[in-house]
Amino acid sequence: HEVIGVDLMFVSYALVLLILLAIAAEQRHVPSSVAAISAGAVLGGVLRLTGADRDRDLLLRSVIFFDEELFVYVLLPPIIFEAGFSTSRHHFFSNLFTILLYAVVGTIATAILIALACQLAGQAGWFRVGDEDALDFSSPKDACLFGALISATDPVATLSIMGAYSVDPLMYTVVAGESVLNDAVAIVLVRILSDLKADAFGHPAALIFGVWKFISISAGSLAVGVAVAAPSAMLLRRVDLSHHAAFELSLLLLFGYCAYVTSEVLHCSGSESRPHPPRHGTPTPRDGTPP
Amino acid sequence: HEVIGVDLMFVSYALVLLILLAIAAEQRHVPSSVAAISAGAVLGGVLRLTGADRDRDLLLRSVIFFDEELFVYVLLPPIIFEAGFSTSRHHFFSNLFTILLYAVVGTIATAILIALACQLAGQAGWFRVGDEDALDFSSPKDACLFGALISATDPVATLSIMGAYSVDPLMYTVVAGESVLNDAVAIVLVRILSDLKADAFGHPAALIFGVWKFISISAGSLAVGVAVAAPSAMLLRRVDLSHHAAFELSLLLLFGYCAYVTSEVLHCSGSESRPHPPRHGTPTPRDGTPP
């Protein structure tokens, strides 16, 4: 009880400092994400150098160490929901084929290219070898995982520059749509690769298994998304929520979370199965181009 | 990992059903809190009658059973924050003495009266005796705890009727202000009583200890609240947040949570130490009388 309280106390004060840092960075025209990543790198470096990361009795252990459940069930869902909610449905669906081409084929091609480059560099001995923890890309699995992990680009800076110079809306839509879907593709790739054994790489059966897994996870997630979105859309149309703003907002967020967590429980990727915003009433906050 | 996912999945679907129930209830002019409590009582009764509450391997155990940490650190803070945030500062502070009289003296008097009534009824044998779980008020501690638990009235219906018939603003302010503070008084009372041993009741030392504890917790909570609120108010005045709406909202909520969790860690009651809304810019949402 007390330990959780102390951890939460430090987390809330740390978040206050992080927001102040982000404000200070943006006033100097540095993106707040750059400031946040730098602060994290400095803190991680200090923990590493002082050896605190090997201390099992550390007070703030539950805060400092990455908790996958917290990430999957609390931090990731709102990010995915926001991406889907702020995408213009009209532009997205009228360019679906192009977007899918970039998001699926493009992301997989990027992952393979990075994996090959890492493996070649690893075989050439460019990385530190020997240390147990070292990522020396000695196994193809490491190289493929790294390639999948960094294949999904997040073109925040590109999109804001595009918005500022008002480029062709088609260009904007394709880049924005791709950035929404490529995360899902990368997550599925990483999950498939993590499930493969290290010696399965290079075996043709692994490739067939991977392709099958990719198609089944994508189709399964889409099916869950439709199965949750269809009744929720019908419900939101039929029930009069005009005097219940709080209930409407709660239902909207809950339906998204229902789809996500159902998909997660069924071992699919939740990020492809969020329902799109309901089609009644107000337009989506961002409509193709950012404000 | 999967167990948490399944639990969260059922919780999110259950919340959707609960909101639909609340909407259906309000359309029939039944308060949604009545509907929620009734649904909880029915579900609890079913679990009790089927014996599911004694099943230690139950799938949804983490959902069904009351988790004090979840309550203290997640569910309670927003309720307290909302109460403080929507209170009109002007009306509250200009009637502080009257409000404190009702909130502190009134709540303690109510708790004592209920405790005495319960103890007399218990000694007269009005309650089922013998079963291990039975609340037969055989000990003064049980009676006092029960009195403290139900002493804080939540005059939601009273306030909405007062708002609808636009009564004297002073009357409204005193009832609303009392309802904000009496929860804190009841929480402190329950904590002090829980810490006392069963045989300490009736002993004069226990009374002195209780009074001392009550004063020290109240003063400590107030000190934490001021210690967090003063620098946060200065910060919100100095930092220009006009282009950072998301940061402003986050800071506002975080400062409240900082005060709450600090106070909680220092074993005070968090509910007296939330900072009041900052004094720059927009007025509070509700200003004495509800919309």
Task: Give A57-98 pLDDT, tens digit per residue.
Answer: 665 666 666 677 778 888 888 888 887 887 778 888 888 899
What's the half-sphere exposure (Cβ side, CA atoms, 13 Å) at A188? 29
State the number of CA atoms in the 13 A half-sphere of A119 facing the CB.
Answer: 16
- Chain A residues with CB under 8 Å of a chain B CB are 1-2, 4-6, 8-9, 12-13, 15-16, 19-20, 22-23, 26, 68-69, 72-73, 235, 239, 241, 244, 247, 250-251, 254-255, 257-258, 261-262, 264-265
Q: Do A8 and B262 touch (CB under 8 A)?
A: no
* 3-state secondary structure (DSSP) of residue A147: helix
Cβ–Cβ gap B255/A6 under 8 Å: no
Phi, psi of B273 (to 5 degrees): -115, 15
| Statement to judge: residues B16 and B140 lie in one domain | no
Q: How many CB atoms lie within 10 A of CB A90?
A: 13
Mean pLDDT is lowest, of A103-112, A234-243, B245-254, for A234-243
Cβ separation A254–B69 shorter than 8 A: no
Strand partners, B287: B289
The answer to whether the beta carbons of residues A22 and A32 sit under 8 Å apart is: yes
Q: Are both A138 and A53 inside the same structural domain?
A: no
The count of C-alpha atoms lying within 13 angstroms of the C-alpha of A208, restricted to the half-sphere facing its C-beta, is: 3
pLDDT, mean of residues A209-220: 86
Q: Report the phi/psi class of residue A64: left, alpha or beta, with left for phi > 0 and alpha for psi in -120 to 50.
A: alpha
A58 and A92, same domain (yes or no)? no
pLDDT at B228: 92
**How many domains, chain B?**
2
Is A70 within a domain? Answer: no
Q: Could you tell me if B263 and B270 are in contact, meaning their C-beta atoms sit under 8 angstroms apart?
A: yes
User: CA of A15 to nearest chain B CA: how many angstroms apart?
Assistant: 8
B126 Rama sector, left if φ>0, alpha if ψ -120 to 50, beta otherwise: alpha
Do B264 and B132 belong together in one domain?
A: yes
Are residues A176 and A242 both part of a single domain?
yes
Q: How confident is the model at residue B58 (pLDDT cuts 50, 70, 90)?
A: low
| B39 lies in the same domain as B102 | no
Same domain, B237 and B183: yes
Q: Give the distance, in angstroms, between the CA of residue A38 and the centroid of all CA atoms in the same chain.
A: 20
Query: What gap in Å lies between CA A115 and CA A92, rounded to an integer?
Result: 30
Q: Of A36, A65, A94, which residue sits at a domain end? A: A65
Model pLDDT for residues A28-42, shown as the tens digit of each residue = 888 787 888 899 899
> Quick check: is B172 in a domain?
yes
Residues with Cβ < 8 Å from A211, sequence gap 6 or more?
none
Residue range B103-107: average pLDDT?
92
Residue B237 located in a structural domain: yes
Integer Cα distance of A87 and A284 in angstroms: 8
* Domain-located, residue A75: no
Nearest to A4 among B23, B26, B73 (CB): B73
Q: Check whether A2 has a pLDDT greater than 60.
A: no
**Contacts with A255 from chain B: Cβ below 8 Å:** 16
Query: Residue A53: its pLDDT value, please?
Result: 65
Top residue of B3, B234, B265 to mutate, by most chain A CBs within 10 Å, is: B265
Q: How far is A75 from chain B (nearest CA, A)?
A: 14
Q: Are residues B88 and B152 in the same domain?
A: yes
Domain of A60, in residue numbers: 2-65
Distance from CA of A246 to the nearest CA of B (A): 10
Do residues B58 and B116 share a domain?
no
Mean pLDDT of A148-160: 79
Q: What is the mean pLDDT of residues B132-156?
A: 78
Same domain, A143 and A213: yes
DSSP secondary structure of chain B: -HHHHHHHHHHHHHHHHHHHHHHHHHHTT--HHHHHHHHHHHHHHHHHHHTGGG-TT-TTHHHHS--HHHIIIIIHHHHHHHHHHTS-HHHHHHTHHHHHIIIIIIHHHHHHHHHHHHHHHHHTT-S--S-TT-----SHHHHHHHHHHT-S---HHHHHHHHHTT--HHHHHHHHHHHHHHHHHHHHHHHHHHHS-GGGTT-HHHHHHHHHHHHHHHHHHHHHHHHHHHHHHHHHHHS--TT-HHHHHHHHHHHHHHHHHHHHHTTS-GGG-PPPPPSSSSPPSSBSB--
Residue B232: inside a domain, yes or no?
Answer: yes
Residues B147 and B251 in one domain: yes
Residues A254 and A151 in one domain: yes
Q: Which amino acid is at B144?
A: C
* Residue B286 covered by a domain: no
Is the model's pLDDT at B120 over the cut of 70? yes
Share of chain B above pLDDT 90, in %: 15
CA distance B152 to B218: 16
Residue with tokens 């709102």: A78
How far does Cα A166 stand from its chain's mean position? 27
Residue A231 in 3-state DSSP? helix
Confidence of residue A284 (pLDDT cuts 50, 70, 90): very low
